[in-house]
Amino acid sequence: MSIDAVPAGGAGRRGALFGGRVQEAAMLLPALALIAVFLLLPFLSSFRIALTNERLIPRPVPPRFVGLDNFQNILSDHEFWVALWNVARFTLMVLPVQCGFALAVALILNTKLPFRNVFRGLFFLPAITSMVVVCVIWATLFQYPTGPFNQILSVLSFGMAGPIDWLGDPRFAMPALVLLSAWQAYGFQMIVYLAGLQGIPESLYEAAELDGANRWQRFWHVTMPSLRQTHIFVLIITTIQAFKLFTQVNILTQGGPRGTTDTVVHYMFTAGFVNQRLGLASAVAIILFFIVLIVSLVQRFVVRDRK
């Protein structure tokens, strides 16, 4: 049936079309307005604020344009470089631990194991646990001197390795945060790997088996190369997550001991919220944005290259 065949249809349809557009605009507007006010506007104004000496609570004196002074101050601040280095250190440690464990569990769950779905549900539980709750639990696990980690250490070393003040010792605070963070977040990478593993055609394994490849060879020559895209995706996502490290630090270590767990976001939070130096903090926020942007662009290029 064609509406155009109806004589009055033309005008009526044009009217409906116009009404339709008004309705469409009304449907699109709420979401766009919220995004404009609460995402685009703060994002754009951070570039403006970063060039001023604006304070969080306005002073009687209006904020002054200071050019690139904030960036200069940050880049010449030893503490900022320590924070950046800490985040890099955290990333380098958390990547193998978190992604390696996620891949191992995904490989186990991808076999013909009975109750696979039950196990998948259990292994995914930490991923839905709030980081605040994780901090409460792990703070007790890391207790000095008689927490579970220290007891296990003592048993394994026959009492030779002394109790470690996990969160209070500059050498161990960051590794402790790495363990806790990897435990909380590996579930996501596990699920992504599981999806990647299920995308590998069974025929590849059958062919490898015919060629006499053992289980180990099949893993290195079939599974790992087939997961290339998944690896890239997982590494990028985990890196971006790692660069935003904050909650654990804020709750458990406050950047200490002796600045060994200070991070970029914690540095920004301290500068902008605690010390009220909004201009300086906005400059840090912009640097963080560009770090995330560059990491994401690297992913785009690497993925596009191989396609």
Partner 1 sequence: MTSISHPATLAPAPSRPVPRDWSRVIAVVAVSILALVVISPLFLLAVASLKPDRFQILADMGSFRAFWVSDPSLQNFRDVWTFSGALPFGRYLLNSLIILFVTVLGGVFLNSMAAFVLAWGRLPGRAVILTALIALYIVPQESIVLPLLTIVNRVGLSDSFAAQILPFMASPLYIFLIYQFFIQVPRDIYDAATVDGAGPFRIYWSVFLPISLPVLATVAILLGIETWNQYLWPLMVTQTDRARPISVGIASFFGHDSVYWNSAMAASVMMMIPVLIFYLAFQRWFVSSFISSAVKG
Rounded to 10 deg, the angle between the 228-243 and 173-198 helix axes is 150
Is residue 110 involved in binding partner 1 (CB under 8 A)? yes
Is 24 or 211 the residue whose CB approaches partner 1 more closely?
24
| Binding residue for partner 1, selected from 14, 15, 41, 157, defined by CB under 8 A | 41
What residue has token string 């470690």?
A: 164
What residue has token string 């002394």?
A: 162
Is 174 or 182 the residue whose CB approaches partner 1 more closely?
182
Rounded to 10 deg, the angle between the 116-124 and 100-109 helix axes is 160
Separation CA 75–CA 79 (nearest Å)? 9
| CB of 246 closer than 8 Å to CB of 263 | yes
Query: CB of 66: closest distance to partner 1 in angstroms?
Result: 17
Is residue 120 involved in binding partner 1 (CB under 8 A)? yes
| CB of 257 closer than 8 Å to CB of 168 | yes
Is residue 107 involved in binding partner 1 (CB under 8 A)? no
| Binding residue for partner 1, selected from 10, 42, 96, 162, defined by CB under 8 A | 42
Closest by CA position to 165, among listed 153, 181, 180, 183: 153
Query: CB of 160: closest distance to partner 1 in angstroms?
Result: 18
Is residue 138 involved in binding partner 1 (CB under 8 A)? yes
Is residue 228 involved in binding partner 1 (CB under 8 A)? no
Is residue 223 involved in binding partner 1 (CB under 8 A)? no
Is residue 10 involved in binding partner 1 (CB under 8 A)? no
| CB of 177 closer than 8 Å to CB of 252 | yes
Q: What is the DSSP letter of 200?
A: S
| CB of 110 closer than 8 Å to CB of 127 | no
| Binding residue for partner 1, selected from 53, 244, 256, 257, defined by CB under 8 A | 244
Is residue 156 involved in binding partner 1 (CB under 8 A)? no
Is residue 82 involved in binding partner 1 (CB under 8 A)? no
Residue range at the interface with partner 1 (CB under 8 A); choices 86-94, 170-178, 218-226, 262-270:
262-270
